[in-house]
Copies of this chain bind each other. A is one copy, B any other.
């Protein structure tokens, strides 16, 4: 999906390290990324964003110890399934807030940290909801609001933040997903009547946004 294509684009750049955190290890994908640019060290750690804050902090301790420094955090975990209310909120919103909060421990300039850059994956639905998936859309509105606040706190923390807000992207998930209380059983089909983008186009714009790295951008 978007995460993989973004990683592919990222390793083409002059990067030292790419750390991929995901629930499930996919050695073939990691091998592919390593092959694209052998100069980039690609590492994988298993991570479920719904774990408690303390566990995230522990994992980040390992990563920071190994790399000495981390420049950018991309919060990319997300699900689209309005039958799963608690999980949607836990992954799309709470997980992103907790991961951000945990990394501040290492980056916060008030603690002598070097600052850093947070890139959060929002969605156009954070601005204009797809009302058939009100929980998903609201979780993305929360991401946009949260990120805007973090950006405004950059003078205190030294950490800048922006969101990337993809429009309708042809990912596997869009082919079929559940609306809230089944208010519309053909949401995916209806969405695909609108202009869509490929995951590749999305990923390229995504990396462009990271390169621009404008605090508070949406």
Contact = CB atoms under 8 A, between A and B. Distances in A.
Nearest to A135: B97
A138 B134 contact: no
A64 B93 CA distance: 33
Contacts of A126: 145
A129 B146 CA distance: 8
A215 interface: no
A134 B149 contact: yes
A133 B93 CA distance: 15
Given A134-B153, A142-B138, A150-B134, A97 B89 contact: yes
A142 B132 CA distance: 15
Please state the number of chain copies in the assembly.
2
Contact of A129 (B132, B138, B149, B181): B149
A138 B131 contact: no
A211 B69 CA distance: 57
Contacts of A157: 181, 183
Q: Which of A134, A135, A141, A157 has the most CB of B within 10 A?
A: A134
Interface string A167-196: 000000000000011011000000000000
A153 B132 contact: yes
A211 B95 CA distance: 38
A89 B85 contact: no
Contact of A143 (B101, B138, B180): B138
Interface of A: 53, 85-86, 89, 93-94, 97-98, 101, 104, 108, 126, 129-135, 137-146, 148-150, 152-153, 156-157, 180-181, 183-184
7 contacts: A89-B94, A93-B138, A137-B146, A138-B142, A138-B149, A149-B180, A153-B180
